[in-house]
Amino acid sequence: MEELKRAVAKEALKFIEDDMVVGLGTGSTTAYFIEYLGKLIMEEELEDVYGVPTSYQARLLALEYGVPVVNLDEVDAIDIAVDGADEVDPYLNLIKGRGAALTMEKIIEYRAGTFLVLVDESKLVERLGQKMPVPIEVIPAAWRAIAEELEVFNATAELRMASKKDGPVVTENGNFILDARFHRIDDPLDLEIELNNIPGVVENGIFADIADIVLVGTREGVKRMER
């Protein structure tokens, strides 16, 4: 699996040109991309490329591998954003947020001229929600009210607990994450909008209609899905 992730990360470098502002995603697949991008910048194969990190993880990796970073409010535009995903359906709708970075990821990826997604073949599903729950970032005081509200959607929600901290995961925005399992997601765009209408929801991990290209690492090589 790591080999497939490395292969898509390498392929993604072909999309990066001099003078680009690049959204840097979060997760294990994008980590390889940031490493390889840093190498090209250090070897002066690429010039004047800046990264806009979607998380502390992306920022730390960029600093480690030599990708100059800028904040979202310092750039006029983002040329391309590169990020992983937890699930990809045949229409390029995604579930993201296993790493709890979904809100900043969506802000940056929505703003990008091109949103390039990097996955291995295990992430492909026929229908979103088949394997993964939908992460929902919520204002802490509202977590229980929102979990109850989700029953209306025929979903069961669990508060995500931390593994190296007592109590719940706290996002980089100071919020909690609910992982919601839906009986069946027929219309991802509609559900994405509906979830964000619940008071106290900051953002949810359905990324419908936003990915432009998905690179899929398979045992037969890197395949490309496009809209």
Ligand X SMILES: O=C[C@H](O)[C@H](O)[C@H](O)COP(=O)(O)O
Which residues does the annotation mark as catalytic?
Answer: 105
212 is in an annotated binding site: no
51 is in an annotated binding site: no
Rank residues 122 and 154 by Cβ distance to ligand X and give the closer one: 122
Sequence-distant contacts of 182-191: CB under 8 A, at least 24 apart: 182/129, 182/134, 182/153, 182/154, 182/155, 183/154, 183/155, 184/127, 184/129, 184/154, 185/127, 185/128, 185/129, 185/134, 188/89, 188/93, 188/128, 189/93, 191/134, 191/153
96 is in an annotated binding site: yes
145 is in an annotated binding site: no
112 is in an annotated binding site: no
Minimum distance from CB of 42 to ligand X (Å)? 23
Minimum distance from CB of 151 to ligand X (Å)? 25
Distance between CA atoms of residues 191 and 207, nearest Å: 10
27 is in an annotated binding site: yes
Rank residues 38 and 133 by Cβ distance to ligand X and give the closer one: 133
Distance between CA atoms of residues 207 and 210, nearest Å: 6
If phi > 0 it is left, if psi is from -120 to 50 it is alpha, else beta; for residue 66 that is left
Helix H or strand E encompassing 37: helix 28-42
128 contacts 171 by C-beta, under 8 angstroms: no
Q: Which residue is nearest to ligand X (CB)?
A: 27
47 contacts 21 by C-beta, under 8 angstroms: no
Rank residues 29 and 175 by Cβ distance to ligand X and give the closer one: 29
76 contacts 42 by C-beta, under 8 angstroms: no
Minimum distance from CB of 44 to ligand X (Å)? 28
Rank residues 21 and 102 by Cβ distance to ligand X and give the closer one: 102
Rank residues 12 and 102 by Cβ distance to ligand X and give the closer one: 102
**What residues make contact with ligand X under the rule CB under 6 A?**
25-29, 83-86, 96-102, 105
Residue type, 191: L
| Annotated binding residues for substrate | 26-29, 83-86, 96-99, 123
